[in-house]
């Protein structure tokens, strides 16, 4: 990593030396020269009068032709792609830690807030929008991945996405992987900061549980690692929202062993095929079965054929860290009602399983995971919950009826916990949803077919989602009702002027003890609350 940083620094200095061929006077035609913006650019520019090329390539303002394309390319939730969305005053796309440091210094000096964008998957668009003047630090040019098979580790810069990480690992080995999510375009930088879960969580825990080191810039521009930052800050940034405390420059990840081939299966059950009873048993089996098996479910309401009658369809998606010859006897013993047959089981590489869980055939070239433009974007509003007691049959039937009232825009995605997740204490890292959690539920409505999320139809869908949230209240966790911080939801509240306000959302994401500890750490490392956004860790 040190050698890599030295090389990047040399490249950065070479860019500076070769790029400055035009005068400051010419720069005024390329950038927004309002007093604040001009001051920022004057601050961040190298000590030279020839800065046009440098600014054009790495610092973009609204008068640049590339401003909107650069801003919108990583807007992963298309409901924010509208003229009314507040955009940055300046976008900085660093190629090196030196420019990150300068951008931080100049944003503080000239009164800008800062938003840090890795992959742009945050559900409320908080990494690229704000109602105040802000600098967006976009890590698209800092996406290096260095896989070390011998030491079972990888250094990953924040602009890399999960698909690129998986692909890089697969190019060196089929017997190591990283326990993260299935969406290829999620940025590594923010994902680890919120905890991060995926198909390997029951065997290896969250992604943040498998972070072993970091390069991190604090509010004063100091670059720290695990040792120099101290155990409290290292604890906080793994699941407590790293961007509340500073800027992650790279994560060092522990790669975990996997078999050369894993077994996947997908099958669907409708109400007419006994889906309710099968799902009811699923709540008992999926969190307690062999840790090598993960069975995700997706729940939809749909019409039966060409009729006007609706049914519920539940898709069961399984991945087993082993062969079908071992999987089938396990399911025959523990979950025969599911009806998994040999012919629907497929033995494939771990990298191919990521493709399958993204909804594509296993034969799809794995290079698609590195093609950010090939992966469909979202257009939705989402909420999350955790289930600690199995939902009774009567409760499931209420949920199914509610889904049938929807116009087809709704989806429930449910992941079982248990296994390795129950081995960690709630305070091992800030992510607290551990022992006793059976299921995590993601509830979402899309705005497909709508011009925005504010049309009458879109607003109706949002109201339906909120009413589903209310209906679920008796069946999900309580005191607090838990939620996943990486699925940020501003409906939970944004106030942070005092603990009573902040606890409305903070205790749901992190629980009381962890949230209070995060607040104490924040007060030490960023006492003036420079790194702030809605639902960031507050300073009182």
> Where, residue-wise, is CATH 3.30.465.10 in the chain?
145-258+489-525
Paired with 80 in beta bridges are: none
Q: Model's pTM, two decimal places?
A: 0.91
Q: Is 42 helix (H, G, I), strand (E, B) or coil?
A: helix
Q: Where in the chain is the domain with CATH 3.30.43.10?
A: 53-138
What are the tens digits of pLDDT across the range 477-491? 999 999 999 999 999
Give the phi and the psi of residue 243 in degrees, each rounded to 5.
-75, -5
Phi, psi (rounded to 5 degrees) for 69:
-55, -40
- Topology, domain 145-258+489-525: 3.30.465
Fold of 53-138: 3.30.43
For CATH 3.40.462.20, the residue range(s) in the chain are 261-348+377-473
Nearest to 290 by CA among 174, 195, 418, 147: 418
SS3 percent helix, strand, coil of the chain, rounded to 5, is: 40, 20, 40
From residue 380, how far is each of 7, 119, 272, 327, 450 by CA, in Å?
Answer: 41, 17, 29, 35, 11
pLDDT in 10s for each residue of the chain, 540 residues: 544 444 344 333 333 333 333 323 333 333 333 446 889 998 998 765 554 555 557 999 999 999 999 999 999 999 999 999 999 999 999 999 999 999 999 999 999 999 999 999 999 999 999 999 999 999 999 999 999 999 999 999 999 999 999 999 999 999 999 999 999 999 999 999 999 999 999 999 999 999 999 999 999 999 999 999 999 999 999 999 999 999 999 999 999 999 999 999 999 999 999 999 999 999 999 999 999 999 999 999 999 999 999 999 999 999 999 999 999 999 999 999 999 999 999 999 999 999 999 999 999 999 999 999 888 999 999 999 999 999 999 999 999 999 999 999 999 999 999 999 999 999 999 999 999 999 999 999 999 999 999 999 999 999 999 999 999 999 999 999 999 999 999 999 999 999 999 999 999 999 999 999 999 999 999 999 999 999 999 999
Q: Tokens representing 471?
A: 């209906």
Query: Helix H segments across 344-392?
Result: 350-357
Burial class (CB in 10 A: 0-12, 13-18, 19+), 492: middle
- At 185-203, the pLDDT tens digits run 999 999 999 999 999 999 9
Give the CATH number of domain 261-348+377-473: 3.40.462.20
Mapped onto helix, strand or coil, the DSSP state of residue 460 is helix
The answer to whether 41 touches 12, Cβ cutoff 8 Å, is no
- Provide the annotated active-site residues: 487
E-assigned strand segments in 171-246: 176-177, 211-217, 223-224
Neighbouring residues of 23: CB distance < 8 A, sequence distance ≥ 6:
49, 50, 52
Tokens of 396: 């499931």
Alpha-carbon torsion 507, 513, 518, 519, what sign?
positive
List, in order, residues 6 or more apart from 383 with CB less than 8 Å away. Answer: 442, 443, 444, 465, 469, 483, 487, 489, 491
Most distant CA pair in the chain, distance: 76
Closest CA to 481 of 455, 507, 518: 507
Four-point Cα dihedral 318, 380, 165, 210, nearest 10: -70
């Amino acid at each position: 990593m040190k050698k890599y940083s030295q090389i990047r620094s040399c490249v950065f200095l070479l860019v500076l030396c070769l790029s400055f061929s035009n005068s400051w006077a010419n720069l005024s035609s390329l950038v927004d020269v309002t007093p604040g913006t001009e001051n920022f650019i004057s601050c961040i520019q190298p000590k030279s009068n020839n800065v046009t090329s440098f600014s054009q390539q790495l610092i973009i303002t609204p008068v640049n032709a590339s401003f909107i394309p650069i801003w919108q390319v990583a807007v992963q939730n298309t409901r924010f792609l509208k003229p009314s969305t507040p955009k940055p005053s300046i976008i900085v796309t660093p190629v090196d830690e030196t420019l990150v440091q300068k951008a931080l210094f100049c944003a503080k000096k000239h009164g800008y807030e800062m938003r840090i964008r890795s992959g742009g998957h945050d559900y409320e668009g908080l990494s690229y929008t704000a109602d105040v003047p802000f600098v967006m630090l976009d890590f698209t040019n800092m996406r290096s991945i260095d896989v070390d098979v011998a030491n079972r580790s990888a250094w990953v810069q924040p602009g890399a996405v999960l698909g690129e990480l998986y692909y890089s690992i697969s190019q060196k080995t089929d017997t190591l992987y990283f326990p993260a999510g299935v969406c290829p375009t999620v940025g590594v930088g923010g994902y680890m900061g919120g905890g991060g879960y995926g198909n390997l969580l029951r065997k290896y825990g969250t992604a943040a549980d498998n972070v072993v080191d970091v390069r991190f810039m604090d509010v004063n521009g100091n670059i720290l690692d695990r040792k120099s930052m101290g155990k409290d800050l290292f604890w906080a940034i793994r699941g407590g929202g790293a961007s509340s405390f500073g800027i992650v420059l790279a994560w060092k990840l522990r790669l975990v062993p996997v078999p050369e081939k894993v077994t996947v299966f997908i099958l669907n059950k409708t109400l007419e095929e006994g889906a309710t009873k099968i799902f009811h048993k699923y709540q008992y089996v999926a969190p307690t079965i062999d840790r090598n098996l993960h069975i995700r479910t997706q729940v939809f309401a749909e019409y039966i054929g060409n009729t006007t009658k609706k049914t519920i369809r539940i898709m069961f998606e399984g991945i087993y860290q082993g062969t079908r010859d071992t999987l089938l006897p396990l399911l025959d013993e523990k979950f025969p009602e599911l009806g998994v047959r040999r012919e629907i089981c497929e033995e494939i590489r771990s990298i191919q399983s990521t493709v399958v869980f993204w909804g594509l055939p296993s034969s799809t070239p794995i290079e698609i995971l590195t093609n950010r433009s090939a992966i469909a974007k979202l257009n939705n509003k989402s909420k999350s919950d955790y289930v600690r007691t199995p939902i009774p049959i009567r409760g499931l039937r209420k949920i199914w009826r509610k889904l049938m009232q929807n116009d087809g825009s709704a989806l429930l995605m449910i992941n079982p916990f248990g296994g390795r997740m129950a081995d960690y204490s709630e305070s091992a890292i800030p992510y607290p949803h551990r022992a006793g959690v059976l299921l995590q539920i993601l509830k979402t409505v899309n705005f497909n077919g709508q011009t925005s999320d504010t049309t009458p139809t879109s607003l109706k869908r949002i109201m339906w989602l909120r009413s589903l949230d209310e209906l679920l209240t008796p069946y999900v966790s309580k005191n607090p009702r838990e939620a996943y911080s990486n699925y940020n939801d501003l409906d939970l509240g944004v106030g942070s002027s005092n603990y009573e306000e902040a606890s409305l959302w903070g205790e749901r994401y992190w629980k009381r003890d962890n949230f209070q500890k995060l607040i104490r750490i924040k007060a030490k490392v960023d006492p003036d609350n420079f790194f702030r956004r809605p639902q960031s860790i507050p300073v009182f």
